[in-house]
Structure 1
Amino acid sequence: MIANTPQPPYYAVIFTSIRTGVNDDYDDMAGEMFRLAATQEGFLGVESARNKIGITVSYWQSPESIKNWKANTQHMLAQKYGREKWYAKYKVRICKIEHDYEL
């Protein structure tokens, strides 16, 4: 589903990943992180797709809301598990959306 975001400016966190073969609790944690992010102040939406490479883009009102999400205790635990067992490689990019359009 395509996120319904407001008029720019707003911010995007682009999380690109390659998984390991370990699936222990991954789907449950991923679902919980989507639900938890949606309750965070400043959260605007999320889009995610996975084939060989996974890409999740979350949208936020401000850099401060992104910092608060990164520092969320439950999210920090998910990050730890990701580094230790779920991701062979990942990259995070943060950018300011200055213009968007849609059909």
Structure 2
Amino acid sequence: MDTVRSEEETKKVINRLSRAEGQIRGIQKMINDDKDCMDVMTQLSAVRSSIDRVMGMVVANNLKDCVENPEGDPAAQSKKLEQAINMIIKK
């Protein structure tokens, strides 16, 4: 998907991904330190939620771009919107 993002939006996405990266490193350490399974699962769930939020941000930006900068070809515009919607509902 092509998306035009402002510098601020890009920064927000990168910050969230960096936090998720740090969480994953923490989970790796927990596993190496043989921490409790439920604690590890709690952290894995938090990472999954974080990534889901990032995906939502990216797709929302794409939808916004589609509405604000429509394709000249209605069929191409419809395809971009359909792709974005499918990304939102796909789990």
Q: TM-score range by the shorter chain?
A: 0.3 to 0.5
> Which structure has greater strand proportion?
1
TM-score normalised by the chain length of structure 2: 0.33
Tell which has more relative contact order, 1 or 2 (C-alpha 8 A, sep 6+): 1
> Which structure has greater helix proportion?
2
TM-score normalised by the chain length of structure 1: 0.31
